[in-house]
Amino acid sequence: MSGEALRARYAAVLERVTAATAAAGRAPGEVTLVAVSKLHPAADVAETAAAGQVDFGENYVQEALEKRAELQARGLCANVRWHMIGHVQSRKAAQVAGAFALVHTLDSVKLADALERHTPASGVQPVLLEINVGDEPQKAGVPVDEAAALAVHVVERCPHLSLEGLMCLPPVFDAGEAARPWFARLRRLRDSLRAECGLPLPHLSMGMSGDFEAAIAEGATIVRIGTDIFGPRPPKK
């Protein structure tokens, strides 16, 4: 895609996020846009960052680290905050801990312990719990009824992890308003977990290209948008 087309798509998404935030009666700036650049080239990240975007999401550890290294080598994107939004295997924890501004996809005690072990002693790794909000057997994420136990584990056993909220992918894809009850469910779960783990849990990472307006209406503080900014993704090699 040309730089001009990409900037126009990016501006249109920003406008929709702003409009949805206002329509929900929420303050401007309450919703952070994470631009999901997985499978898109580093040049598209550089172009979007030059247009003012700060937060970028990647799904695959290897791809994310390579893209960053490429940008760094060219002196670009030094101020970008990288988000890990894909499933993380525990054996990759060493590459992830300390390397991302926020890991959205903590979904097991095993991964929590691995991230804890690999976070530099002087640092803190911010994390969200990925919730399998539809309790779908094939899907990643901690089941709703196990979320409290995992939250308490992180709080009590993982002093180098900072638990900041919840993330989900609803069972319906590209479904707009139909996704809303799932986003409401994540918000209610966050509200009940607050009491159980004694943390404010400010963040709800929910909403993608096909449903982010509905997510903002239900309280999303972070939306993860790929296709509407960067266009269709090339297939994963």
Q: Which residues bind ligand PLP (CB under 6 A)?
A: 36, 38, 59, 85-86, 169, 208-210, 224-228
Task: Kindly give, in sequence order, each residue whose CB lies less than 8 Å from that of residue 145, ignoring residues fewer than 6 positions away.
Answer: none
SS3 122: coil
Q: Residue of minimal CB distance from ligand PLP?
A: 226
CB of 209 to ligand PLP, least distance (A): 3
CB of 109 to ligand PLP, least distance (A): 21
CB of 87 to ligand PLP, least distance (A): 9
Nearest residue (CB) to ligand PLP, 221 versus 227: 227
Closest CA to 222 of 78, 100, 98, 57: 57
CB of 95 to ligand PLP, least distance (A): 18
SS3 204: strand
CB of 170 to ligand PLP, least distance (A): 11
Nearest residue (CB) to ligand PLP, 197 versus 219: 219
Nearest residue (CB) to ligand PLP, 93 versus 225: 225
Nearest residue (CB) to ligand PLP, 86 versus 219: 86
SS3 180: helix
CB of 41 to ligand PLP, least distance (A): 15
SS3 151: helix
Nearest residue (CB) to ligand PLP, 162 versus 227: 227
Contact between 158 and 152 (Cβ < 8 Å): no
Partners of 127 in beta bridges: 103, 163
Nearest residue (CB) to ligand PLP, 217 versus 225: 225
φ, ψ of residue 146 in degrees (nearest 5):
-110, 0
Q: Sign of torsion, CA 12 210 166 114?
A: negative
Residue 126 C-beta-side C-alpha neighbours within 13 Å: 16
